[in-house]
Amino acid sequence: MSEPREDNRDSEDATPLVFLRNLIPLTPSVKEFFEQKLGEITAARFCTFKTCPGCQTYVERADENNLCVHCTVCTAKKGSSYEFCWNCRRKWKGRAQIAVRCGYSDCNQIYPTMEKSNDRKRLAMIINNVNFKVSQFHRSGAEKDEESMGTLLEALGYDVITLNDLSAEGMEAAVRDFSQRNEHRYSDSTFFVIMSHGGHDGIYGINYDGNESDIFPVDKIFHYLNSENCPGLTDKPKIILIQACRGDTVSIRNTGYGSVFIQSLVKVFIEHCHVDDIVELFRKVTLYFEEAVKKTNFPYQMPSLDRTTLAKKFYLFPGL
């Protein structure tokens, strides 16, 4: 049994930051980072915080029985009192008082959205077939759609996996592998975007030559992303976007700026996704698409919403 020795460290050395500082030198910026994170962890032990939808700063909920939460930062910036609903995270609607519900009738009918953090792993996939085996099928301008969708999804907080020029077999392998990604366990939703030629039977792979070959059935997308094959996304919104001919009318695409559908969708999402749920966004896309087509000499056509299984409203909350 050894004799006890005197510990000459200061009393503050018991904190993790000081302990770390004694092991390695910390630059001012690194020290500030650790202090901020430790502060957040310590505060979380005693208080409950969420980000304000108006300014994205952390706000404490002082009364757990009150859904009406006051943000001092927004109030100071706007010059008037600003409150938001703790549950649905929208600007407060109704009388600003102690309340168990806000003025939105759908407050309890919204899919939960995870806040930005290192724990959130939103993942999206884009498959874009541009260069086909038969040169006459090349999809010039599709690069613009890929760029626009990628930028939009990244702005919405998704890490985007982009794959190009796949056969039907390659597309099936891609969606199958995507469904098994571990990130989905730590996500609240996903987007799966596929852009190519297509027909009644499905999406065409790059080996399509005009005959009924190299076709990827659309049903396989739903098969691989269902709860059984993609458990990480169970009860989470899965938005599947298909830019392809699906029937007798061709899908309008401009070689200079991309397809009417994708460009309309991106524009509508940028302008309205901070206030509208996904179904309302698609309605506005359809309206915008209709107006855009009327300005051209192309045959009249409209995008279609094939499958809707969302039981609640899905808001993208781009500020979170």
pLDDT tens for each residue of 72-106 = 999 999 899 999 988 787 888 877 666 677 888 77
Band (pLDDT 50/70/90 cuts) for residue 180 is very high
Distance CA 132, CA 244 (A): 14
Residues pairing with 240 in the sheet: 192
C-alpha closest to that of 87 among 72, 62, 107, 70 = 107
pLDDT higher than 50, residue 3: no
* pLDDT band with cut points at 50, 70 and 90 for residue 14: very low
Pairwise CA distance, residues 33 & 41, whole Å: 12
Please tell me the predicted confidence (pLDDT) of residue 12. 39
Give yes or no for residue 237 having a pLDDT over 50. Answer: yes
- Helix ranges restricted to H, 210-277: 219-224, 260-272
pLDDT value at residue 30: 60
Residue whose pair of structure tokens reads 């007798």 in the numeric block: 248
How is the chain split among helix, strand and coil, in percent rounded to 5? 35, 15, 50
Sign of CA dihedral 132, 137, 140, 143: negative
pLDDT at 96 (0 to 100): 65
Q: What DSSP element (H or E) covers 174?
A: helix 168-179
pLDDT digits (tens, 9 = 90+) for 27-79: 676 666 556 555 555 544 445 677 788 887 878 877 777 888 899 999 999 89
Find which of 91-100, 169-178, 226-235 is predicted with most confidence, using mean pLDDT.
169-178
Contact 108, 87 (CB under 8 A): yes
Q: Which of 200, 218, 302, 198 is nearest to 260 (CA)?
A: 302
DSSP assigned state of 49: E
Query: 198-199 and 202-204: which strand pairing?
Result: antiparallel
**Predicted pLDDT at 226:** 94
The ranges of the chain annotated as CATH 3.40.50.1460 are: 123-256
With pLDDT > 70 as the criterion, what percentage of the chain qualifies? Answer: 77
Residue 128 pLDDT > 60, yes or no?
yes
Q: Identify which has the larger pLDDT, 11 or 56.
A: 56
- Provide the whole-model pTM: 0.68
Res. 151 pLDDT band, cuts 50 70 90: very high
Question: What per-residue confidence (pLDDT) applies to 6?
Answer: 36
Is the confidence at residue 141, as pLDDT, over 50?
A: yes
68: closest CA among 44, 92, 49? 92
**pLDDT band with cut points at 50, 70 and 90 for residue 1:** very low
Question: Is the domain 123-256 a CATH 3.40.50.1460 member?
Answer: yes
Residue 162 has pLDDT above 90, yes or no: yes
| pLDDT at residue 5, as a whole number | 35
CA–CA gap between residue 257 and residue 246 (Å, rounded): 21
**pLDDT-derived band of residue 107, with 50, 70 and 90 as boundaries?**
confident
List residues with catalytic annotation. Answer: 197, 245
Amino acid letter, residue 65 = N
> Using an 8 Å Cβ cutoff, are 303 and 286 in contact?
yes
